[in-house]
Amino acid sequence: MRTTPPRPARRSLLALGLGAVLTAGALATATVAGAAPDRAPLVVQTTEGAVEGTATDGYRLFEGIPFAAPPVGDLRFAPPAPAQPWDGVLDATTPGSACPQEPSASNPTTSLDEDCLYLNVTTPSGLDTSRRNLPVMVWIHGGSWRTGSGDRYDAGKLALEGDVVVVTINYRLGPLGFMAQEDLSRENGDVASGSAGLLDQQAALRWVERNIRAFGGNPGRVTIFGESAGGSAVCAQLTSPSARGLFDRAIAQSYSCTAPYDTLETAEAKGARVAETVGCAAASDVAACLRATPVQQLLDAWPGGAFVVGGSALPVQPAEAIAAGNHAKVPVMHGNLSDENTLFTPLDPTVARLAADGFTGTDYTTVLAGVFGDNADEVLARYPADAYPSPLRALAAVNSDAGSALSTCEHVDAYDTLARPPAPAPVFAYQFRDETADPLVDFPYPAYPEDAQHATELPYLFPGLFGDGLNAEQERLSTAMVRYWTNFAAHGNPNGRDVPTWTRYRASKDVQGLDIASDGGIGPVDVAAEADCAFWSTLS
């Protein structure tokens, strides 16, 4: 099991052989001994202090840079506080700790360390990037709002092939990032509670605003992008008043921007149950008791949750804000995968129990009846079990087309909402469709092809994240995707040389399908027609 590394040690200027006479201005352009004078520096001066990274394979990597104060003690559950400056040079050659989390089927990381608000910067080596203004891409990782860390994502391919600076960030997860509770809300005032994770992401973006120019990036060309829970974060930041002006484009992968979240009232009721479970409900100071509760107890008591709507950071549901035009007017790339829920369907407890004994046609009918009630027969007629390799695969097709924030029809709703007035910014929609991609979780069920499952596009952007690596045809698709993503970061439009034309979204036929050439290649697809969205709209 992977464990998170220790905090980076701070090193003195003398230890680096740079001499105590270097000024802050000299540090910004210093090079390590023996490096070519026209290469980018490995020691960079930030507003909090100098950092030393590494150079490998044509890019520089700076890891474990603190962007906020450790959220411990009185700062647990609170909005992030500024990072404290340091003396000397910070060793930025190893990642900082991941935020507290327990391992999952797709993420082996375990951590109980609350001192976790770190980010990582990947930038091309090239000539001295302090004289360049590269586009900046800030990655917000996924993981069901309870697992993950920025250092898991190797951004070298994006940085080198796209000529961009990539920042990957941590943010508080689970109860430490998303738990609301009445006493905590009272302490936090207008921001209420449950928004710590969202505000951590904004603190990282403010760090980028202050510091990215020293790494060769342009603070006026910042793209936020993320997948799954990270995609939901992109959507939330689009509609958060306190995020305005912190980014210039947005890419939301595999989470609909019109999906709803818990209201503050609902989230505070959930927090009250957590307080009761950990023995804080009857305390004279519930908030103080929650801050003193061991991390493991909070993780064990947490039922799950995401962003909270009602405080000043996210005052209304994203769908409502977008429909009213009360969101950041920036270009948006938004998309999902054609078979998202072949990952999550077998993980449903009821389905998993049935599948252990062989998920039958009768089981399929029973599950549909439980979900769709009087409409179950109509769904069964549209998605008959014998039209798929197995009844379990038929159920996954139902779940992938409709009914969740990951589904195709929910994404089409988001594209339509983002693209219609009063939203003047362009929208570019996509669907990843490579059925040969390695799955995130390989289920042992017979006749259950997982196809373009949730998250399988990630190794095409971040090599080696999981799976056995890409074959030659997949590498060609990966190259095209990196060009699209980085073209968008540079210009607010994914189009450019050596990639098929991508039409701005105006109707469902304007979705760009991303697939290997032998299965259709790259071109427009009508995902609403393929997913029977007109049918599903009659049931909603």
Residue 1, pLDDT above cutoff 50: no
Strand pairing class (262-263; 165-169):
unpaired
Q: What is the pLDDT of residues 73-86, one digit of tens each?
A: 999 999 999 999 99
Residue 299, pLDDT above cutoff 70: yes
Mean pLDDT throughout 36-58? 85
| pLDDT given at position 103 | 85
Confidence of residue 463 (pLDDT cuts 50, 70, 90): very high
Q: Which of 147-161, 242-256, 413-427, 431-445 is predicted least confidently?
A: 413-427
Inside any domain, residue 283: no
Q: Give the orientation angle of helix 391-401 with respect to helix 408-419, to 10 degrees.
A: 10
Asked about 141 being catalytic, the answer comes back as no
Q: Which of 40 and 332 is assigned the larger pLDDT? A: 332
Best CA proximity match to 138, nearest among 157, 166, 116: 166
| pLDDT given at position 421 | 82
Same-domain status, 24 and 91: yes
Same-domain status, 375 and 318: no
Angstrom distance (rounded) from CA 221 to CA 203: 17
Confidence of residue 17 (pLDDT cuts 50, 70, 90): very low
Asked about 410 being catalytic, the answer comes back as no
User: pLDDT exceeding 70 applies to what percent of the chain?
Assistant: 92
Mean pLDDT throughout 198-206? 98
Residue 48, pLDDT above cutoff 60: yes
CB atoms near residue 20 (< 10 Å): 8
Report the first-to-last Cα separation within the chain, whole angstroms. 43
- Domain boundary residue among 323, 350, 367? 323
Q: Give the orientation angle of helix 361-372 with respect to helix 391-401, to 10 degrees.
A: 30
Inside any domain, residue 295: no
Inside any domain, residue 287: no
Q: Write out the two tokens for 63.
A: 């890891």
- Backbone Cα Rg of the chain: 23
Angstrom distance (rounded) from CA 172 to CA 197: 5
Q: What is the pLDDT of residues 218-233, one digit of tens each?
A: 999 999 999 999 999 9
Asked about 340 being catalytic, the answer comes back as yes
Q: Which of 35-39, 57-61, 132-136, 474-478 is predicted least confidently?
A: 35-39
Best CA proximity match to 223, nearest among 203, 211, 237: 237
> Model-level pTM?
0.92
Angstrom distance (rounded) from CA 118 to CA 147: 15
Same-domain status, 363 and 251: no
Same-domain status, 222 and 126: yes
Q: What is the pLDDT of residues 466-476, one digit of tens each?
A: 999 999 999 99
Q: Which of 106 and 411 is assigned the larger pLDDT? A: 411
Which residues constitute the domain of residue 361?
332-539
Same-domain status, 185 and 257: yes
| pLDDT given at position 410 | 98
- Active-site residue among 106, 125, 149, 228? 228
Angstrom distance (rounded) from CA 180 to CA 175: 8
Inside any domain, residue 267: no
Residue 232 main-chain phi, psi, to 5 deg: -65, -35
| pLDDT given at position 93 | 98
Inside any domain, residue 172: yes
Inside any domain, residue 164: yes
Same-domain status, 336 and 224: no
Written as one letter, the residue type at 326 is N
CB 233 within 8 A of CB 251: no
Confidence of residue 425 (pLDDT cuts 50, 70, 90): confident
Dihedral of alpha carbons 431, 433, 437, 441, sign: positive
| pLDDT given at position 130 | 56
Inside any domain, residue 225: yes
How does 371-405 read in b/e, with b if 16+ C-beta sit within 10 Å?
Answer: ebeeebeebbeebebeebebbbbbbbbbbbbbbbb
- Domain boundary residue among 303, 323, 343? 323
Best CA proximity match to 522, nearest among 475, 481, 469, 486: 481
Task: Return the biggest CA–CA distance within the chain.
Answer: 79
Q: Where are the strands (E) in 118-261, listed by range?
A: 118-124, 134-140, 165-169, 217-227, 249-253
Prior bond to 422 cis, omega within 30?
Answer: yes
Same-domain status, 357 and 406: yes
Mean pLDDT throughout 304-320? 98
Mean pLDDT throughout 3-19? 32
Residue 12, pLDDT above cutoff 60: no
User: What CATH number is associated with residue 62?
Assistant: 3.40.50.1820
Q: What is the pLDDT of residues 128-138, one digit of tens each?
A: 555 689 999 99
Angstrom distance (rounded) from CA 136 to CA 138: 7
CB 211 within 8 A of CB 47: yes
DSSP string, 278-297: TT-TTSSSHHHHHHHS-HHH
- Active-site residue among 48, 52, 268, 340? 340
Same-domain status, 479 and 337: yes
Residue 64, pLDDT above cutoff 60: yes
Q: What is the pLDDT of residues 469-511, one digit of tens each?
A: 999 999 999 999 999 999 999 999 999 999 999 999 999 899 9
Written as one letter, the residue type at 322 is I
**What's the mean pLDDT when you consider all of the chain?**
91
CB atoms near residue 85 (< 10 Å): 9
Same-domain status, 317 and 357: no
Inside any domain, residue 302: no
User: pLDDT exceeding 90 applies to what percent of the chain?
Assistant: 87
Same-domain status, 319 and 343: no
| pLDDT given at position 519 | 94
| pLDDT given at position 56 | 87
Mean pLDDT throughout 393-420? 97
Same-domain status, 495 and 362: yes
Number of structural domains found in the chain: 2
Q: Which of 100-109, 217-226, 430-439, 445-454 is predicted least confidently?
A: 100-109
- Domain boundary residue among 277, 302, 323? 323
Angstrom distance (rounded) from CA 503 to CA 156: 28
CB 194 within 8 A of CB 180: yes
- Active-site residue among 111, 390, 454, 457? 454
CB 183 within 8 A of CB 287: yes
Q: Which run of H or E residues covers position 336?
A: strand 332-337
Q: Which of 16-25, 341-350, 524-533 is predicted least confidently?
A: 16-25
Query: Which positions ≥6 away from 317 have C-beta within 8 Å?
Result: 260, 261, 309
Residue 454, pLDDT above cutoff 90: yes
| pLDDT given at position 28 | 36
Q: What is the pLDDT of residues 272-282, one digit of tens each?
A: 999 999 999 99
Residue reference for tokens 């994006």: 158
Written as one letter, the residue type at 16 is L
Same-domain status, 258 and 338: no
Best CA proximity match to 107, nearest among 285, 281, 230, 208: 230
Mean pLDDT throughout 164-182? 98
Highest mean pLDDT among 105-114, 216-225, 422-431: 216-225
Angstrom distance (rounded) from CA 173 to CA 301: 14
